Structure 1
Amino acid sequence: MDELARTIWEISHAAYTDDAPWTAEQFASDMKLAHSHYFVEKTETVAFLGFHQVCDEIEITNIATKIKGRGYGTQLLERLLDYAKVHQIATIFLEVRASNHAARLFYEKFGFLEIGRRKNYYQHPQEDAVLMSLKVGKADE
């Protein structure tokens, strides 16, 4: 297995209080997809942001930090927003556990809005997913 995929899984496993949403094998498989991208905080390898880009849309698949409160998540999301502007992305989407109020507030700070829910989307424990989006490009695009 790819060392980077294993490292990203370790960050994810440390960051999520329930259970890491993806296995190391799923990360390795996802990294092979042409439309899949990852930003990794390289100084200490303590944070990552994974996303899929299809045409002018991005879906954040994962964002996690081993160490909270140091701004790594903010840095990675700002990096993604810069990337989105350069690559003329219209909208960024994500989903988050309904009970993850800290994450939802974090995304709202960047302008993400709730656009829907997926009933019982998450397992261990079973829970709804809140769908959020952020318009990056012009509203008429």
Structure 2
Amino acid sequence: MSNIDTDLIVPLSIEHAAVMAKIENQAHTHPWSETGLRECFGPLYRAVGIKQQGDLLGFAIVQQIIDEATLLDICVAPEKQGVGFGGLLMQQLIDDAKSAGAVVLMLEVRQSNEAAKYLYGKFGFIEAGRRKDYYPANNGYEDAILMDLSLV
């Protein structure tokens, strides 16, 4: 990640929802809708993105209620994956959550999403539980792994 310009991280607004939805559709088998993404802008939410030469390459959304932050979505355009953008977004989310007084950052991830589980593990997230058959999958359903990162 040392070769990535950290100035590329920018706050996002509802006006970015259409581009976010496009990235979502390219990167995920069961993407969020643009309407769902639009609902993630408001006082309880923070959305940040990675921009390069004016193009949005990835984004992340966190909801925070009092001292508990939840990563709702993190997504990087498929052609930009594997170069550190996800890690850069994750570090920004952690820093922002700490600054906002969060004591824990929580998330859930598909059991089959090895790349995401690897990223979360690198940052110290630990498995806190499971939701059996939570996510729709190509052949039925798969578990959601609940993960937590202590921020204190």
Q: SS in structure 1 opposite 2:94?
A: helix
- What is the root-mean-square deviation of aligned Cα atoms in Å? 1.3
Task: Confirm or deny that 1:8 pairs with 2:13.
Answer: no
Tell me the TM-score normalised to structure 1 length.
0.88
Q: Percent identity?
A: 34
Amino acid at match of 1:73: G
Query: Which residue is 2:11 aligned to?
Result: none
**SS state of the match for residue 121, structure 1?**
strand
2 CA distance for matches of 1:110 and 1:94? 13
Matches within 5 A, 1:41-60: 41-43=50-52, 44-60=55-71
Which of residues 98, 112, 129 is equivalent to 1:85? 98
- Unpaired runs of 5+ residues, structure 2, are 1-13
Structure 1 stretches of at least 4 aligned residues deviating more than 6 Å after TM superposition? none
Q: After superposition, give the CA deviation of every residue in 1:105-130 in whole Å (9 maximum; x if it has no partner).
A: 11011000001000111113311100
After TM superposition, the structure 1 stretch with the greater mean CA deviation from structure 2, 119-128 or 64-73, is 119-128
Q: What is the aligned partner in structure 2 of residue 23 from structure 1?
A: 33
Q: Distance in 1 between matches of 2:127 and 2:137?
A: 23
User: Which whole-Å CA distance do the structure 2 matches of 1:80 and 1:14 have between them?
Assistant: 22
How many residues are paired up?
133
By percentage of residues, which structure has more strand? 2
Match of 1:120 in 2: 133
Contact 2:40 2:61 in 1 (8 A): no
Alpha-carbon distance in 2 for matches of 1:23, 1:81? 25
> Does the Cα contact within 8 Å between 2:71 and 2:106 map onto a contact in 1?
yes
TM-score (norm 2): 0.82
Q: Which amino acid aligns with 2:145?
A: V
